[in-house]
Amino acid sequence: MPPLAALIAKNAEAVTVSDNYGRLITASGLSNGTLGMPAADAPDRLDNTPQPPVHQPLAIATGIVALDKNGAGKLSLALPDFSGTLKLRAIAWSAGRTGQATATLPVHDPLSADLPLPARLAPDDRADLTLTLNNIDGPRGEYRIKLSADGQVALQGDSELVVNLAEHEQRAQPVTIQAKDQGEGTVTLSVTGPNGIAFERRLNVAVSAATARIVRHAQLTLKPGATLTVDPALTAGLRPESIVSQTTFGAGIDFDLNGLAADLTGHALFSAGQIIGEATVWLSPASVLANLGLKDDPQARLTALVRALAAYQTTDGGFSRWGGGASDPWLTAEIADLLQRCKTAGVVLPDTMLDQAIARLAAIFAPLATGPIDAVTVPPGRLAEAAYAARVLAAGGQMNLFQLRYFSDRLQAELRDPLAVGLIASSFAILGDKASATAGFARAMSLAESGGSVRLELEGQAALTALMIESGAVAQPSTASFLAGLSGAAGNRRQFSTAEAMWLFRTVVPLVASAGPVKAKIGDLTLQQDHALWGFVKGTPPIRNLADKPAHISLTVLGDPAQGEVRDQGFELQRAFFDTNGKPVDPANIRQNDLLVVVLTGRFTGQGDAKPLLVDPLPAGWRIEAADIKDAANRYPWLKDLGGASFARADDGRLVAIPNLTGERHEFKTAYVVRATVRGQFALPGPTIQDLAQPAQYGRGAAGKTKVDPAS
């Protein structure tokens, strides 16, 4: 008997011999069994159980209630401001029996006082509302209703109303709310009546700019004694009074962390990618969040963002960028990565959300990690997706070092994508193999610098840099060199995509501010300290380097778009309004309950492959009735040549769509239906279209005002 076979036979239960990939070597030689994969513990089938909604329903548990000798018990429920029907369930048990019963309980005040506010207003909006009183169960008598407003809203006219109501009588009273500046507003409604009836209700309304702030960036070096005058391109098309600038000024390579955070948190969340971006900011250490001026509870904010992401999970366990449709492997890995980091931070995840995502990633990874060791031909995109899946599986304890090594060796000849190589190196670091991680990152940097078969764009460059820094497997000089290259690449961009900003933010958070004395004058303010400094000023004052060495400047300019200006920077965009018969309508003169057909047209005039995102914010007094018009030819025969959209959704008071570009001129035409629901005068924001991958290519339509009069 050969020595190896004798050893195994003698110590069959105590000794195993494995190859480099963890496969058992039997007495006859190398096992031809397949490599074990991480999907073993994954569910056989992904269920479609709905995830918890973002807003939880009312749920109260009383605990154990003592019963008297007749088996009856009494309890009291402390309810929040709630009007509706409660479903009650009681469970009883004894030593030998159990039982349960359910009942419903209507909950309402004796007098219903309803003042439906718009979800948000723009500064200077006026909403003409109706306060509805309904004496449901209250006695006949005098009721006193007092209204007050705080914050960024004010009341016009009388704030106190005294009415005599009969039993079951209803009454309506006009109430006008005027919005002031941006911020939160509160309307408090207090009611007192006969028989001690008294209650108070606080109604909140946000006052926010009708259009999102524009964020632009610059990276540059300023010589000793030199003065920087901000490039007018950074402020073009912005309202001068709204412009602020943030400057990070240092002796080394320092990015403006505050500006990147503003890029990731200062907009509505239209897609899964934007949710990832904002959540990345909230995962920062407490000291970073304090410096960013973010005062919300990080756990609460992350919990809300995770629940919002649940709506983007598909039936195969992956995630889609817009909700519905096929899942995206790279996005699925990004979200699973985020969920793992949230879980580590103590965020409670919805049941099965991460498990299903990992199962999906295991299914993506498995075909490339099993089979013969011989080289295989795989498209670069699939390799990067599988590499990111491997990193998530390694971080989740779903992959061991043998499996990762087999995957890496099997595809060595195919791994020409620097980011894919970096993701595998990061996986080795997670599993504790620092030597392989260091070697992998060295190869990734070499591939990136040589400009091989896969060119690394800014997003990939930032992702690779972040992975190197987070791994701790790369020496500081190499990291600094790659960071300098990243700064140069970022300096060529005035605006970042969400993915670019997210990975840049992940790169910067672990870094320590560069050492070395700096001295600068920003406007009239002189600043001096022994490490990189940060300044926030109104406008864009000149910046002078008062030190005797060159300074690196990372500049962020923020501002609101000038409402009267139409900008075409890669896209043309027009908007028109019609009634349902095709007659043009002036939005400055419409009536409550009018239906309007909004038609958006334009074309792409920029460079590269367009990835357009069209956003049309609604006035506070309008509501979308149909984001995607079905059977337009029969419903609206006059509405011709619609190109449609691959995706269209009513999203928190705005239309969000990806229009189809058609023909040699790359034109688009899409339409949706709105209803004027609230009387008053409101800002009519202009529509915008922007390239998701190249945000400096955009178009902006005209803004104005709309006036909604009472229905005729």
Instruction: Determine the 3-state secondary structure of 620 from DSSP.
Output: coil
CA dist., res. 159 & res. 148, Å (int): 6
Residues 6+ apart with CB under 8 A from 335: 272, 276, 309, 312, 319, 357
Q: What is the pLDDT of residue 8?
A: 43
Query: Is-same-fold flag (34-52+268-506; 115-207)?
Result: no
Mean pLDDT across the chain, nearest whole number?
A: 86
Q: What is the pLDDT of residue 375?
A: 55
CA dist., res. 4 & res. 19, Å (int): 14
Q: What is the pLDDT of residue 693?
A: 87
**Percentage, residues of the chain above pLDDT 70:** 89
Q: Which amino acid is at 567?
A: R
Least confident interval from 106-115, 611-620, 648-657: 106-115
Contact 669, 642 (CB under 8 A): yes
Domain 567-709: CATH architecture, name and number where available: Sandwich (2.60)
**What would the pLDDT profile of 377-425 be if each residue is shown by its tens digit?**
677 678 889 999 999 999 999 999 999 998 898 887 778 889 999 999 9
**What would the pLDDT profile of 610-625 be if each residue is shown by its tens digit?**
999 999 999 999 999 9
* Residues forming beta bridges with residue 691, ordered by sequence position: 612
> What would the two tokens of residue 5 be?
């076979």
Within 13 A of 537's CA, how many CA atoms are on the CB side? 18
- The residue extents of the domains of the chain are 3-33, 34-52+268-506, 115-207, 213-254+513-560, 567-709
Domain 34-52+268-506: CATH architecture, name and number where available: Alpha/alpha barrel (1.50)
Contact 667, 602 (CB under 8 A): yes
Report pTM: 0.81
Least confident interval from 59-68, 197-206, 390-399: 59-68
What would the mean pLDDT of 651-677 be, rounded to a whole number? 93
Give the helix/strand (H/E) hosting 626.
Answer: strand 622-626
β-pairing, 153-156 vs 698-700, is unpaired
Q: Of 325, 435, 430, 344, which is closest to residue 388 (Cα–Cα)?
A: 430
> What would the two tokens of residue 246 be?
């943030």
Q: Domain spanning 213-254+513-560: which superfamily? A: Jelly Rolls (2.60.120.10)
Neighbour-count burial for 234-252, b at 16+ CB within 10 Å, e otherwise? bbebbbeebbebbbbbbbb
Q: At residue 504, what are phi and psi to the nearest 5 degrees? A: -60, -40
Domain spanning 115-207, CATH class: mainly beta
Query: Does the pLDDT at position 40 exceed 50?
Result: no
CA dist., res. 544 & res. 530, Å (int): 17
Residues 6+ apart with CB under 8 A from 200: 188, 189, 190, 191
Q: At residue 305, what are phi and psi to the nearest 5 degrees? A: -65, -40
Q: Of 315, 331, 347, which is closest to residue 381 (Cα–Cα)?
A: 331
Give the helix/strand (H/E) hosting 331.
Answer: helix 329-344
Cα three-residue angle 101-102-104, rounded to 5 degrees? 155
Least confident interval from 8-17, 42-51, 490-499, 593-602: 42-51
Query: Does the pLDDT at position 37 exceed 50?
Result: no
Tell me the helix, strand and coil percentages in the chain, rounded to 5.
30, 30, 40
31 alpha carbon, distance to own chain's centre: 48
Query: Does the pLDDT at position 27 exceed 90?
Result: no
Within 13 A of 70's CA, how many CA atoms are on the CB side? 3
Q: Of 30, 6, 7, which is closest to residue 20 (Cα–Cα)?
A: 30
Q: What is the pLDDT of residue 580?
A: 95
Instruction: Determine the 3-state secondary structure of 465 from DSSP.
Output: helix
Q: What is the pLDDT of residue 372?
A: 64
